[in-house]
Structure 1
Amino acid sequence: MHTTGEVIRELRLHQGWSQSTLATKLCEEAQRATVTREDVSRWELGKRTPGPFWLRHLATVLEVPLTALESDPVKRRTFLTNVAATAIAPVVASDLIEHGFAAALTKRPTLDHWHAKLAAYGNDYMSLGASEIQRRLASDLVVLQQQVDKPRIWDVAAKLMTLYGKTFPGNDGSKAVNWYLMAMQAADRSEDDSARVWVRGRAAIALGYEGASLSVAETFANQALAISDKPSLGRLNALFGKAHVAAIRGDGRAAKALLEEGRRVFDVAGSEEQESDYAVPLWRVNVFTSLLAARLGDERTALRAQEVAAKHLPASLPRFATHLEMHRGLMLARAGDRTGGVVYARSALDKLPPEKHSLTLRMLMSEIEQG
């Protein structure tokens, strides 16, 4: 049976890297911590087991799901079995091909049809599981890719591709990032700066909130901010994404400055729409703020943000109420009570029906466990 060290070695060799190269890439990804070639060697030989912090960054650098490296032998065996299997089961591929040709042989969907799809997915993402959204979006993207011949269709494609990327956790190899990169290229073809800013900003806050691929998140945010200084949801997301990156890296001053700028943009560009992934209403900007303040150890700001978010959060979105409760668990852990924080957060997560769990919540739980 494969150990975690053996899996790390196999994946490293698959990338064609030496132990020193892997150590260097880990240092670049983590930034605030250091790992050496000797550390990598000890992990691979089983003399030492990487903790949750390094497991998370190993998953990102080696481009695999976190479950491939976790201590549960069944999870590792399942991962290695899946690696040997085809990426898409034949029956799934058959369904997608059939769906694509059926659409090509019938009347071409209108732009209004795709805008309606976009709105529906924005709403559904807030309450449905990632796997359900991913399955449905895959079918629609097969059809849409046959029609991206005009700027306005590229706009729709870019936003749907961004949403599709969000169905993969930021530490699930490079899948999420690759989809964000393609979405950015699609947005550039839309010839609409607001779309270009939105896609980059949404990718930045997705990765920043998850605490994944920090250098990539910062790059996306910087690109969004450079395209236009006009207040918009894209700029708002970019500022908060960059703020979370700064907070995780320990740069509290920069994080707080970005938070204040983000609040000013929200005052101008905040959303009235309450239940769409394409919107940032009052409750949602306070969810962003709650986690940011918890990461900074700013209890007063965090509690105030949680109070406002809870007051305005629609009852139909219990998943985000769980986010707020787990932020309190993170606050406990950061204050020195790691055990209490983990218990509090785990209790909140367990109260949410499993089918409503998100990949982001699982990553947040991992962060709390790390303290």
Structure 2
Amino acid sequence: MSVATGTVVRELRVARGWSQSRLASELTKVSGSNMTREYISRHWESGRTEPSPYWLRHLATVLDYPPELLEADVNRRGFLSHLAATSIAPVVASDLLSHGFSSRLHATGPTVDSWEAKLAQYGTDYMSQGAAQIQQRLTADLVVLQQQLDSPRMWAVAARLMTLFAKTYPGSDGNKAISWYRMAADAADRSEDTDIRVWVRGRAAIALGYEGASLVVANAFADQALAISDRHSLGRLNSLWGKAHAAAIRGDHGTARVLIDTSWREFDHSHSEEQTSDYAVPWWRVNVFLSLLAARLGDEKIAVKAQENARAELPAELPRFATHLDMHRGLMLARAGDRTQGVNIARAALDALPPEKHSLTLRMLMDEVADTKQSSVR
């Protein structure tokens, strides 16, 4: 077990408020085998000894963290990847390699029409499923798809799926998300489809801007998208909102407000009728963008109105976005000076959402509420 992974286990334990003795006691209870504080300290948390798959399973049980939460906090991805490498990865790798080589050797992969249908389904599923579920499915499909990149249409499918895959990593997690967004942009260029090229970069910009992560990169993606084409499109719409969020977080409120106006003019041309796809920006969703942006600007009047507009048309099958709106209210209160109440509201909203529906973005938003200081609204 690496020292880094040992650190993650320790941080998970501390996050629960447990001593090493308490962790040992819990492991003993669930496993029926004796575990001691000394062993945890000297072997696991020091990085000296590798837990067996048996103990890895029990660690996951007592720490009670589903994958999408583990991925979101305190560098826990090391724990997940290490667990996979020791007890899961060989089987998973075998299956993935088998699918990929079978597709290449026997030409049995899905047709481009099938991939486009699958792409549409992912767009819907992303809106309601957790990041871990989407990431697992996308991993398998991308292994197969990379064997079939023999036409611009296939590259267009790949670009959009890679963009979704990037969104299963938080933008603050090293360079994983950014690396995937950049590869998705390269794939989009091979599609020879201007709208896809703009959409991929715009989706990266709004994702990173909304998360408040990698703002320089978010701005760069947005600028690239806007430079590729001045034709009205969802890609341009996402780019403008991404730039607005980046400006607000930097403290450039004047630019953010100008971009709000520009974004609304683009929305008049580029809005979507589709209500439940990640590839769409309908009325309710653009108001979710505005709700968070106004909260970051400290503009309560605009934020409240945006929240009302979003709730009026938000599909009932997408409760995660109602959670976003409640957490925006918590952020607004925290920035206005009532940090305790703001954190309580945001935490209650997140806790009310079933863990399997959590997204990495929500976890990052919770951190933003908890870390915010009173706004210096001008």
Q: TM-score range by the shorter chain?
A: 0.7 to 0.9
> Which position in structure 2 is the counterpart of 1:269?
270
Deviations 1:79-132 (A, max 9, x none): 499399579821211111122233332534221111101100000000111111
Deviation at 1:68, TM superposition (A): 3.9
CA distance in 2, matches of 1:366, 1:359: 11
**In the alignment, does 2:102 pair up with 1:96?**
no
CA distance in 2, matches of 1:161, 1:66: 19
Which residues of 2 match residues 112-151 of structure 1 at below 5 A?
112-151=113-152
CA distance in 1, matches of 2:163, 2:80: 28
8 Å contact from structure 1 (residues 103, 143) kept in 2: yes
8 Å contact from structure 2 (residues 72, 170) kept in 1: no
In structure 2, what residue type is equivalent to 1:243?
Answer: A
Aligned residues: 309
Specify the SS of the correspondent of 2:201.
helix
CA distance in 2, matches of 1:150, 1:269: 28
**In structure 2, do the counterparts of structure 1 residues 155 and 84 end up closer, same or farther at CA, with 3 Å as the change threshold?**
closer
Q: TM-score, normalising length from structure 1?
A: 0.78
Deviation at 1:173, TM superposition (A): 1.4
Tell me whether 134-143 or 317-326 shows the greater mean CA deviation: 134-143
8 Å contact from structure 2 (residues 205, 243) kept in 1: yes
> Which position in structure 2 is the counterpart of 1:279?
280
Larger Rg: 2
Which residues of 2 match residues 168-179 of structure 1 at below 5 A?
168-179=169-180
Specify the SS of the correspondent of 1:122.
helix
8 Å contact from structure 1 (residues 165, 175) kept in 2: yes
Deviation at 1:367, TM superposition (A): 0.1
Deviation at 1:234, TM superposition (A): 0.2
Which residues of 2 match residues 332-343 of structure 1 at below 5 A?
332-343=333-344
Q: TM-score, normalising length from structure 2?
A: 0.77
> Which position in structure 2 is the counterpart of 1:231?
232
> Which position in structure 2 is the counterpart of 1:41?
none
> Which position in structure 2 is the counterpart of 1:166?
167
Structure 1 runs not aligned, ≥5 long: 8-64, 70-74
8 Å contact from structure 1 (residues 68, 80) kept in 2: no
CA distance in 2, matches of 1:98, 1:68: 34
> Which position in structure 2 is the counterpart of 1:17?
none
Specify the SS of the correspondent of 2:73.
helix
**In structure 2, do the counterparts of structure 1 residues 213 and 100 end up closer, same or farther at CA, with 3 Å as the change threshold?**
same
Deviations 1:290-323 (A, max 9, x none): 0000000011111111000000000000000000
8 Å contact from structure 1 (residues 68, 79) kept in 2: no
Which residues of 2 match residues 47-126 of structure 1 at below 5 A?
67-68=73-74, 79=79, 82=82, 89-104=89-104, 105-126=106-127
Deviations 1:311-353 (A, max 9, x none): 0000000000000000000000000011110001001111111
Which residues of 2 match residues 305-320 of structure 1 at below 5 A?
305-320=306-321
**In structure 2, do the counterparts of structure 1 residues 86 and 233 end up closer, same or farther at CA, with 3 Å as the change threshold?**
farther
In structure 2, what residue type is equivalent to 1:101?
Answer: F
8 Å contact from structure 1 (residues 66, 171) kept in 2: no
**In structure 2, do the counterparts of structure 1 residues 134 and 239 end up closer, same or farther at CA, with 3 Å as the change threshold?**
same
Tell me whether 349-358 or 82-91 shows the greater mean CA deviation: 82-91
> Which position in structure 1 is the counterpart of 2:15?
none
Specify the SS of the correspondent of 2:192.
coil
CA RMSD of aligned residues (A): 2.6
CA distance in 2, matches of 1:128, 1:207: 19
Deviation at 1:171, TM superposition (A): 1.2
8 Å contact from structure 1 (residues 162, 199) kept in 2: yes
In structure 2, what residue type is equivalent to 1:162?
Answer: T
CA distance in 2, matches of 1:330, 1:83: 35
Deviations 1:222-245 (A, max 9, x none): 101111111110000000001000
In structure 2, what residue type is equivalent to 1:338?
Answer: R
> Which position in structure 2 is the counterpart of 1:190?
191
> Which position in structure 1 is the counterpart of 2:302?
301
CA distance in 1, matches of 2:100, 2:340: 51
Specify the SS of the correspondent of 1:117.
helix
**In structure 2, do the counterparts of structure 1 residues 80 and 351 end up closer, same or farther at CA, with 3 Å as the change threshold?**
closer
In structure 2, what residue type is equivalent to 1:95?
Answer: D
In structure 2, what residue type is equivalent to 1:215?
Answer: V
> Which position in structure 2 is the counterpart of 1:199?
200
CA distance in 1, matches of 2:233, 2:149: 25
Structure 2 runs not aligned, ≥5 long: 8-70, 373-378
**In structure 2, do the counterparts of structure 1 residues 112 and 302 end up closer, same or farther at CA, with 3 Å as the change threshold?**
same
CA distance in 2, matches of 1:129, 1:320: 13
Deviations 1:187-230 (A, max 9, x none): 00111111110000000000000000111101001101111111
CA distance in 2, matches of 1:197, 1:99: 31
CA distance in 1, matches of 2:107, 2:185: 30
Identity of aligned residues (%): 67
Specify the SS of the correspondent of 1:154.
helix
CA distance in 1, matches of 2:208, 2:195: 20
Specify the SS of the correspondent of 2:149.
coil
**In the alignment, does 2:328 pair up with 1:327?**
yes
In structure 2, what residue type is equivalent to 1:320?
Answer: F
**In structure 2, do the counterparts of structure 1 residues 179 and 87 end up closer, same or farther at CA, with 3 Å as the change threshold?**
farther
Which residues of 2 match residues 245-256 of structure 1 at below 5 A?
245-256=246-257
Deviation at 1:135, TM superposition (A): 0.7
